[in-house]
Structure 1
């Protein structure tokens, strides 16, 4: 599919990116800004967010904003306050990319540690749930809003030893589908992206022996990320789309995709 958009497709848009300090989140923030968006950088490491902030400004993009927040400890009130701040500062919110995720530990199901399970669910599921719940009223006010979740191949088909992460991504896709159905008659489009095996720290921790140079970089998969936020993608709704189409379910190349 052709994910071409105009160079200023996101001009005037305000888009929040979680996990914006590095990896896919960092690249998405840079790409959104390059297409004209004012990006809100959310993450837990201020120094990383400041580096992305500086990179956007150096490239001539709209001045971004930084929200230091650790999804592990964030409460419902934190998210409600955050939305009030965003509305007060920008007046609107047009897009959210839920990118932040924890991998947890790859191990047999019987050996899953309860705390690890709780931590992964807190960040990957409950954090996204509470943040989205707080943000939907503001997104509804936009003329053309987008809500994009991050899934994985193991969020479609469970895989041995990936229990905690897979369960969290099944939940993520379910959340996306529920929201897409509920918001089908609104101006909010809801989708998910499966990035596929990408050159990130999470991927490296899951496959330490793998040659990362053989993987797509975050920049390589950005056309889809931009398209789903842009006017050109307005008719896409309720779908989980593979950023690397060769990684379709059932293909052998998908067997080592952790998303």
Structure 2
């Protein structure tokens, strides 16, 4: 267990599986205390066991990311307990329908926007004051290349990620003169449940596992990071400006 993030408080949403779980483990192994947020209690308890086995510590928060009032209460609790938040990983996401735009049910549209966009705005709204209390607040939100590729039938997911990109870029602009740095992380195809649901015929064994991306995410969470308002592409190992790549 390293201590590169010793003493830092890190909140991870969607922490029960996939990239969120792998990131929570990596943060704990680097010395951070992890506040793990997800809906499934059993999966959070399994994560806690894995973190403890690595010598780390965690606080478990069984919460639906769409519960904005719950996010506000969590912000107040973290303020009372720690007085700050050093790292925010906005990982929770919903895929929604892979279908023509005209075939998407309004209920599905609203749900995916609630998870992928509105919930992340609520995270920023609730935790911005705590990130500013840190000597090096770091906010990292998971995005997707579908935000700028405009792939047929991926309109719902891609539109929410485009909105997320604009949200985070705006937040980065608003915090550029503070200790906070806000960036987006684009993992590309990774061996996750969401990827399997989106691409059921794909050979998952050919994809990198979630653990492959954690070093890059920890780089974005590091107090030494200087970049803000950018997209980090995992597959290309590079930062992009907010402008979509040509």
SS at match of 2:97: coil
Q: Give the secondary structure class of the aligned counterpart of 1:65.
A: strand
CA RMSD of aligned residues (A): 1.7
CA apart distance, 1:7: 3.4
Task: Determine if contact 1:40/1:64 at 8 Å carries over to the other structure.
Answer: yes
The runs of 5 or more residues in structure 1 that have no matched partner are 1-5, 250-259
Matched, 1:31 2:26: yes
The one of 182, 185, 189 aligned to 1:193: 185
8 A contact 2:145–2:186 mirrored in 1:
yes
Which of 202, 209, 234 is 1:243 aligned to?
A: 234
CA separation in 2, counterparts of 1:246 and 1:186?
26
Match for residue 66 of structure 1 among 60, 71, 91 = 60
SS of 1:156's partner is helix
3-state SS of paired residue (2:114): helix
Per-residue deviation, 1:246: 7.6
Matches within 5 A, 1:152-231: 152-231=144-223
| Matches for 1:39-118 after TM superposition, within 5 Å | 39-61=34-56, 63-72=57-66, 74-75=67-68, 77-118=69-110
Deviations 1:100-142 (A, max 9, x none): 0000010011111100000000011111111211110111011
Hey, what's the Cα distance between the residues in 1 that align with 2:238 and 2:169?
Answer: 21
Instruction: Kindly provide the CA deviation profile for residues 11-45 of structure 1, in whole angstroms up to 9, marking residues without a partner as x.
Output: 11100000000000000000001110000000000
Q: TM-score normalized by structure 1?
A: 0.89
Distance 2:65 2:54 in 1: 29
Of stretches 125-134 and 25-34 in structure 1, the one that deviates more from structure 2 is 125-134
Q: Deviations over 1:62-91 (max 9, x none)?
A: x2001111123x13x322211111122223
- TM-score (normalised: structure 2): 0.94
- Contact kept? 1:224, 1:243, Cα under 8 Å: yes
